[in-house]
Structure 1
């Protein structure tokens, strides 16, 4: 019998996708499921994006591109940094990737060697931990329970115990939605530089920050790596298109690795993504619906005795404590789906220590569906 590699055995299942699959099975059985489990916009990509893709598809020939991406898209991304953040970024420092997932792989492979110690936050996106582990890197998880986001003091403390080679963090964060104030981000960037820690800033939920303006790590240093994506604000999850902002010294190494791993991101998706920056009015209307759904959940969850574990600053998530009802969030979520048709992600994906007591609700759904989910949960918890 063929044996799994030791590295493959280190990868934990992504339980949120198991919930997603269970919700789909329930739908097929005729259940009216309201999925608040997966961080996927309920709206399609903007019309201009779809039109550009259709036009290119009609031409018939879809080709490879340069590994770093089409010049027109790299330039559009660079202009976005000037328009949105007031930061000058050269298009030569932009690498277009097959979604943010490819960006993480390229960053890890280009920046770290086998056995290097890299910190992530807890709770945090499980793919960080899994990819780092399968690449043979040592993972250190830093709790953000006290403030909701990573602080420079926490970084100093962890590094003092055993030196770190790198740090990956997100703001706004998945699963909590908590975001880092600009001054805290600036301090974190400065401290990491002083300690010789390489920084990767996951900014895929930018433009979905409801508590404060977006702050990019690139504003405070040219020596950080930023990863972003068209999946979330731009409603392009399945298009698999993202980008990296790189220090000049990493551009060629990332390009070399990308040439072998991916050749290039999809040409159709790249051409379509150029148009995404022109669709702000359409996308901000969707963002406004997220904001309405956010307010519904922010008000309802504490009243349902599901207190928030972090501020709902941004992204489209609410991370809450279910310990008043259960110490097994997986069982709680399974029963809730079966008895109410409401799906949520279990905390065990995001926090291997305390996740058995937490759930993540995604509010990508339209406000009326979120309101219906809240009503179902209210009746269910009351009945129980």
Structure 2
């Protein structure tokens, strides 16, 4: 649904309208300068170095990713367990294919990123949607997971912290309890950590701190602002590395070499990325303070990522119609909650604050005028 909003916004822009984009989770900032410089240098040669790489990824990049866990989380990771993927999306496909068989049930909290359930369904698996609430920061609890497991056995559970669309995070203690409960019940754990680095309320914790049996998926798309480069990574249990490697050899051969070269250099751009993150924090404050003044005052804790998920049922019973009217009449593009929750999502919309500070100020002003006009 978010891609439909993007298309509608593009049509308005082609007609000369100015649209503020709050619908897609795409950083406005460019890739780090070090990444761009490395890519230019690679392109400046004969091109021979841009052939296929090992399916698991360029060894030096895998070592650098492993080092990142030591530097950021204090966790020593064997580079042999790191796999470079085509964004986090490629990681999900490889993880699900390696862990699951058709008919397997996989627990997901709701609301959640829609491709989780769509990829699982395409592979013949059954997404088990477990509703969450504000009392748990919209995170899955051990009790809810076990209740779903009693209904019919679960093969895996997918966890995301910080989460899309909610921006909520699990504390280290809550994450550890959930992982321990899942593993005790024989349920495999996949942890989506694509928004790590973008945390405001408290530091994000990797699932690897709780267990080395988890499959961790991450990407250079969000914190490192490299969406279009399509490069991510996984850290997998040792016994899954070879099956995932064989799958990747057949599905993609390898991740684009230029993207891998740039990704390795991106780790040298942390100062730039921290400046971008500080901008997100300012944008977050603008929305947290500005939206309630407009009348939108029911939203989830904004712990991390760059999303705010708000209840708009005071204004409409149909978030899709609300989003369409907001775009057409006020020039602000947001995503209907139905993308993330097929049932309760009709009451919610997601605001992305990954754009400029000026855009956020103008968006709040436009939304306020538009809602006042509705009244």
What TM-score do you get using the length of structure 1 for normalisation?
Answer: 0.95
The CA distance in 1 between the partners of 2:204 and 2:338, in whole Å, is 28
TM-aligned CA deviation for residue 303 of structure 1:
2.8
Alignment correspondent of 1:144: 132
Residues 292-338 of structure 1 show CA distances to partners (whole Å, capped at 9, x for unaligned) of 00011111223322234421100000000111111111111111111
Point out where structure 1 has 5 or more consecutive residues left out of the alignment: 1-14
- State the secondary structure of the residue aligned to 1:333: helix
The CA distance in 1 between the partners of 2:369 and 2:294, in whole Å, is 10
- State the secondary structure of the residue aligned to 1:141: strand
The CA distance in 2 between the partners of 1:142 and 1:40, in whole Å, is 27
Cα root mean square deviation, aligned: 0.8
The CA distance in 1 between the partners of 2:188 and 2:211, in whole Å, is 11
Alignment correspondent of 1:100: 88
Alignment correspondent of 1:9: none
- State the secondary structure of the residue aligned to 2:268: coil
- Please point out which of 263, 271, 281 is paired with 2:271: 281
- State the secondary structure of the residue aligned to 1:210: coil
- State the secondary structure of the residue aligned to 2:107: strand
The CA distance in 1 between the partners of 2:324 and 2:83, in whole Å, is 40
The CA distance in 1 between the partners of 2:12 and 2:44, in whole Å, is 37
Alignment of 1:174-323 (within 5 A): 174-323=164-313
Alignment correspondent of 1:23: 9
- State the secondary structure of the residue aligned to 1:278: helix
Contact 1:301 1:308 in 2 (8 A): no
What TM-score do you get using the length of structure 2 for normalisation?
Answer: 0.97
Residues 46-87 of structure 1 show CA distances to partners (whole Å, capped at 9, x for unaligned) of 111011011111222321101100000000000000000000
Contact 1:85 1:214 in 2 (8 A): no
The CA distance in 2 between the partners of 1:103 and 1:309, in whole Å, is 30
TM-aligned CA deviation for residue 113 of structure 1:
0.4
Alignment correspondent of 1:5: none
TM-aligned CA deviation for residue 367 of structure 1:
1.1
Mapped pair 1:110 → 2:86:
no
- State the secondary structure of the residue aligned to 1:120: strand
The CA distance in 2 between the partners of 1:361 and 1:253, in whole Å, is 38
- State the secondary structure of the residue aligned to 1:149: coil
TM-aligned CA deviation for residue 222 of structure 1:
0.9
- Please point out which of 318, 321, 327 is paired with 1:337: 327
- State the secondary structure of the residue aligned to 1:277: helix
- Please point out which of 64, 69, 74 is paired with 2:62: 74
The CA distance in 2 between the partners of 1:276 and 1:308, in whole Å, is 37
Relative to structure 1, is the Cα distance of residues 162 and 302 closer, same or farther in structure 2, using a 3 angstrom cutoff?
Answer: farther
Q: How many residues of Structure 1 are paired with residues of Structure 2 in the alignment?
A: 370
- State the secondary structure of the residue aligned to 2:124: coil
Residues 227-282 of structure 1 show CA distances to partners (whole Å, capped at 9, x for unaligned) of 00000000000000000000000000000000000100010000110111111111
Alignment correspondent of 2:119: 131
The CA distance in 2 between the partners of 1:308 and 1:132, in whole Å, is 31
The CA distance in 2 between the partners of 1:300 and 1:157, in whole Å, is 39
Alignment correspondent of 1:153: 143
Larger mean CA deviation between 28-37 and 56-65 belongs to 56-65
The CA distance in 2 between the partners of 1:334 and 1:214, in whole Å, is 34
